[in-house]
C-alpha cells in the first residue's frame, strides 16, 4: 500500500516525555460566548469520545489533543521549553506550537487557520489540519453537526476492496518480485573505496552517486567500483547533509548505469517488504530481504528499521520497497542482538540534497580536514584540546564509546605523552569484541600524529581505570593503588601506541 500523498510517518525514538497541559499559559476562551449544540466526530464511522467536547472558533473545529492523535494511531509528546506538540505516525512528523498559526509537517512549514491552544484545561488542536496531515480525509455535515474522518488505513482498505488487478497496488503502481528488483537495479548499486575505508552507494545521475556522509567525510581520494569491473575516480563531494548522514559525490567520468528511482511518497508501514543491496564486509552487491520492522524519528531525522541484513560496508546502500523504489539509505546496525536491528535514513531527506546539488555552482571537492597541517609550536593544553575534539569517539562493532580525561605532557626524554580513559564498564563487557576497532583507532591517531608532528616521538596511552571496595588480586604492583577507607583503584593501559617515523601498537592488558 503506497502513493497516497507526500507524507511520512514514524514512531519516535527521542520523543518520550508525557503530554500534559502547559500550566500558567492559556488563551482567552473566545468560544464560551454562547452555547453550541454538541459537535459529533466519527472516525471510520465510529464515534470518538472527547472531554472536553469539540469547540468551534471562527468556523474551525478544535478538539482535545490526546484523543484525536490516539484515534489516528499517532504517538504524541510535549516539549515544555518551546511549548511544542510533536506527533509521529508511520512516517509523518508533525509539530505544533501553542498559540502559533505556523505548524510543520516533515520539516515543512504550514499555515494554520486556528492555532493549538489551551482551553478548559485541555490542549486543543485543529481537527482538520491534524487529520489531513496524517493522511485522512475530513468531511462536514452541517445538518447533523457531524464531522466524518476517513483514516489513511481505511482509505487504503476501501480502495483495496475495489482493486481488481492483483499485480498492481491501489493507485496502479506495479509491484516487483525480489529477483525483478535485483535484476533491474543491481548494476545501479556501487562500491565506494576511499583512503579511509569502504562503503556503498547508488547511482542517481550520470556522474552522481548517493551515499552516507560518513563514508566519504574524512576521505581525500577514492574510487567508485561498478559491477562491470569498471573503476571511476571520485572528483569529490557535490552536496551533503551531515545531520541526515547523506552525501552526493561526483565521478570523474560517466557512470553509464540506470539511476535508481527515489521514492517521493514517503508512505510505508511496519510489515512492508523491503530489499537491501550493498557491499557488507566488502562482498559487493549483496542482496538481502526483510520487512520494515519499525520507523523512528530522532533529532529531526526519519529512520526506517528493517530486518533486511546489513553490516559494515553496507553504509550508503539502497533499501528498496516492493515497487522498486529506494525508500531508505542503509546506514547502521545494532550489534550483539538476535533481533536483527538495522537502520536506514528515510529517502525523505534525499530530495533536498539533490536540489542542493542541482543549485550549487561549486566544483566537487573532498572536504578539508578538521585537523591542522602541523602541531609544531602547539602547547600541551592545545594538543589535549585537539585530541578531545577529534579523537574522543571510539566507534566499535559493539557501538560507540567516549574517551575522556585527556591530558598531554612532555617527559624528561622529550617524548610527547598523550593519555585518556575508556569507559570501564564498556571495556569490561566488550574488550574481546572491540580489540580490532581499538587497533584501527590507534592506527588512525598514530598516522595523524606522524603527519602533524613528523619528528616528535609520541606515546598514546588509553587507560582502563576503576575503583573497588576490596583489594584486587592478580595485577602488577603499579596497577593497584590504595586510596584509603577500604578503597582501591586499578589502572592499566588497554591501548599503547608509540610513534615517530614508524609506529608500534599494543592492544589489551
pLDDT for 159 equals 66
Q: How far apart are CA 208 and CA 272, in angstroms?
A: 29
Residue 165 has pLDDT above 70, yes or no: no
pLDDT for 38 equals 83
The string of pLDDT tens digits covering residues 33-74 is 333 468 899 999 999 999 889 998 888 899 998 899 989 988
Residue 439 has pLDDT above 50, yes or no: yes
- Sort strands 40-43 and 146-150 into parallel, antiparallel or unpaired: parallel
Binned at pLDDT 50, 70 and 90, residue 382 comes out as very high
Q: How far apart are CA 104 and CA 96, in angstroms?
A: 7
DSSP 9: B
For residue 403, which of 433, 375, 438 has the smallest C-alpha distance? 438
Residue 31 has pLDDT above 50, yes or no: no
Q: How far apart are CA 134 and CA 87, in angstroms?
A: 10
Q: How far apart are CA 18 and CA 14, in angstroms?
A: 12
Binned at pLDDT 50, 70 and 90, residue 428 comes out as very high
For residues 280 and 287, the answer to whether their CB atoms sit within 8 Å is: no
Binned at pLDDT 50, 70 and 90, residue 22 comes out as very low
Model-level pTM? 0.61
Residue 166 has pLDDT above 80, yes or no: no
In this structure, the chain runs to a length of 509
Q: What is the CA radius of gyration of the chain?
A: 28
Residue 266 has pLDDT above 80, yes or no: no
Amino acid at each position: 500500500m503506497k502513493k497516497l500523498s507526500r507524507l511520512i510517518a514514524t514512531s519516535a525514538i527521542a520523543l518520550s516525555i508525557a503530554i500534559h497541559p502547559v500550566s500558567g499559559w492559556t488563551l482567552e476562551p473566545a468560544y464560551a460566548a454562547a452555547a453550541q449544540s454538541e459537535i459529533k466526530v466519527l472516525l471510520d464511522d465510529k464515534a470518538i469520545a472527547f472531554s472536553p467536547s469539540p469547540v468551534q472558533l471562527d468556523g474551525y473545529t478544535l478538539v482535545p489533543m490526546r484523543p484525536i492523535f490516539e484515534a489516528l494511531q499517532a504517538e504524541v509528546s510535549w516539549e515544555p521549553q518551546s511549548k511544542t506538540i510533536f506527533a509521529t505516525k508511520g512516517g509523518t512528523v508533525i509539530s505544533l506550537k501553542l498559540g502559533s498559526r505556523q505548524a510543520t509537517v516533515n520539516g515543512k512549514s504550514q499555515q494554520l487557520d486556528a492555532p493549538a491552544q489551551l482551553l478548559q484545561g485541555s490542549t486543543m488542536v485543529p481537527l482538520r489540519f491534524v487529520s489531513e496531515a496524517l493522511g485522512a480525509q475530513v468531511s462536514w455535515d452541517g445538518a447533523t453537526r457531524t464531522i466524518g474522518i476517513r483514516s489513511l488505513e481505511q482509505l487504503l482498505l476501501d480502495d483495496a476492496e475495489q482493486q481488481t488487478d492483483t499485480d498492481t497496488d491501489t493507485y496502479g503502481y506495479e509491484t516487483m518480485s525480489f529477483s525483478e528488483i535485483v535484476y533491474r537495479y543491481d548494476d545501479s548499486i556501487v562500491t565506494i573505496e576511499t583512503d579511509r575505508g569502504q562503503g556503498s552507494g547508488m547511482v542517481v545521475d550520470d556522474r552522481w552517486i548517493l551515499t552516507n556522509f560518513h563514508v566519504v567525510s574524512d576521505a581525500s581520494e577514492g574510487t567508485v567500483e561498478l559491477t562491470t569491473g569498471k573503476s571511476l575516480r571520485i572528483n569529490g563531494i557535490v552536496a551533503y547533509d551531515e545531520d541526515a548522514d547523506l552525501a552526493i559525490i561526483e565521478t570523474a567520468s560517466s557512470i553509464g548505469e540506470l539511476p535508481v528511482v527515489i521514492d517521493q511518497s514517503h508512505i510505508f508501514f511496519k510489515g512492508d517488504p523491503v530489499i537491501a543491496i550493498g557491499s557488507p564486509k566488502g562482498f559487493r552487491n549483496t542482496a538481502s530481504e526483510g520487512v520494515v520492522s519499525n520507523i523512528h524519528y530522532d533529532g529531526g531525522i526519519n529512520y526506517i528499521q528493517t530486518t533486511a541484513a546489513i553490516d559494515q560496508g553496507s553504509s550508503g546502500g539502497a533499501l528498496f520497497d516492493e515497487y522498486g523504489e529506494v525508500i531508505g539509505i542503509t546506514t547502521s546496525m545494532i550489534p550483539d542482538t538476535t533481533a536483527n536491528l538495522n537502520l536506514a535514513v528515510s529517502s525523505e531527506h534525499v530530495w533536498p540534497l539533490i536540489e542542493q546539488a542541482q543549485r550549487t555552482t561549486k566544483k566537487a571537492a573532498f572536504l578539508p580536514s578538521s585537523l591542522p597541517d602541523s602541531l609544531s609550536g602547539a602547547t600541551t593544553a592545545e594538543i589535549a584540546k585537539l585530541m578531545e575534539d577529534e579523537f574522543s569517539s571510539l566507534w566499535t562493532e559493539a557501538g560507540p564509546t567516549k574517551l575522556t580525561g585527556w591530558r598531554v605532557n612532555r617527559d624528561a626524554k622529550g617524548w610527547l605523552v598523550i593519555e585518556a580513559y575508556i569507559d570501564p564498564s564498556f571495556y569490561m563487557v566488550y574488550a574481546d569484541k572491540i580489540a580490532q576497532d581499538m587497533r584501527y583507532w590507534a592506527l588512525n591517531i598514530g598516522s595523524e600524529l606522524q603527519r602533524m608532528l613528523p619528528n616528535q616521538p609520541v606515546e598514546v596511552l588509553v587507560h582502563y581505570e576503576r575503583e573497588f571496595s576490596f583489594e584486587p588480586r592478580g595485577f602488577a604492583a603499579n596497577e593497584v593503588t590504595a586510596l584509603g577507607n577500604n578503597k582501591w583503584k586499578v589502572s592499566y593501559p588497554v591501548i599503547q601506541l608509540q610513534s615517530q617515523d614508524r609506529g608500534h601498537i599494543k592492544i589489551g592488558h
